[in-house]
Structure 1
Amino acid sequence: MSGLKKIILTVLALTIVTGTLMAGRYIFTGKHLSKKSIAAVPAVQEGDIIFQVSQSDLSTAIQQATHSKYSHCGIIFKRDEQWFVYEALQPVRYTPLMQWINRGKGRHFVIKRLKDAGAVLTPEVVAKMKTAGEQYNGKDYDFYFGWSDERIYCSELVWKIYKEGTGLEVGKLQQLKDFDLGSAAVKQQMKEIYGNNIPLSEKIISPVSMFESPLLVTVAE
């Protein structure tokens, strides 16, 4: 074997080893990330909140109204030893974690966790959170962004699960009128959703309010 070939093979071997080690420490958005790698990543814990840029029609309006990059979120739970994101889409559902990541814009995501998750998110509390979330499973997505439980949107689902399961309010509730409603994209979506009767005093929890909550820390992106 020539010296050049030996060097090339050595570099390839180091690249593979390094990539494996990195996969063992972090979650990243590379296209070669496997389900096995995700399952082995210690950064993921039940109760983590994951954020992404949705590619839905509503995403641009949500981003502009909230001045946030992130327009969709869900909560990570384990089912049958596999990682899922429990999310309010259409309908509310459990989505495999890798499928959820791949669906977002550029496969980019951020995972956040309670600062004191080790003390708060005990197995009993996580079980209570899952039970709290089951009442919403299969419900329709709430395009009206109302606060009732009849329909539900993404950040509302996560907020209510945390509130009922832990008593914590992750993110500050606001009213629709508190957001920036002036852009063309936002006006168009509001016209399609509400017509001429915009509920400006409706209580809302936005993805960015949860993202910026002082109760959370970033653990992966």
Structure 2
Amino acid sequence: MRVVIAEDAALMREGLIALLQRFGHQVVHAAEDADDLLEAVSHCRPDMVITDVRMPPRNLDDGLRAALAIRAEHPQTGILVLSQYLGDAYAAKLLAEPAKGPRGGGAGYLLKDRVGRVTDFMHSLDVIAGGGIVIDPKVVGHLMSSERPQALDMLSEREREVLGRMATGESNHHIAASLHVTEGAVVKHIGNIFAKLGLQAEDGNRRVLAVLTYLRAARLGPADEETVDER
């Protein structure tokens, strides 16, 4: 997989490069600011972009803004945003809508400490490369612990738990192992989730759409939001 990295911290940047190369991926460019990232994506046309949220030139949400622009202009490119913060509002901005077009790439929002969990991190990249969506488990847990949104009231406690694990990119097999149930039970729960959320087979990737529905419905209270600077 051809990857462009955007990270202004040299140690983190070099660590990502080494990790990706170790697993056989090609880092075609390593940007130190958002402007360089946008130029590199236009020139290199990578399969995946991995970017920090906060980076130069403004040291605010420049990386996220660049990611949103790339998602709009290059919908086939997978996007993984890394952050030091829970940043529910950032995750919502990135994942609120699927990428447009028949070959829309996946997207993910992970906390930076997830990179140190190599197996989880590489699995997340695989999910995103396959067009899926991944949200950091800590962000999912934060959303699930908030006041439950009305749109998810129709789901049972177990169905909400399964949907939350789907949001982290877990496969049915991993969900079953985590919850100590059979894969058949997980499939049944997922079917119930699709039905209750009104997702039909012809809607395309219902797993992704279910996660998007979950994210859109999650309540972002004032204390939760890291408001994206609009200056």
**Structure-1-length-normalised TM-score:** 0.28
Higher helix content, 1 or 2? 2
Which is greater in Rg? 1
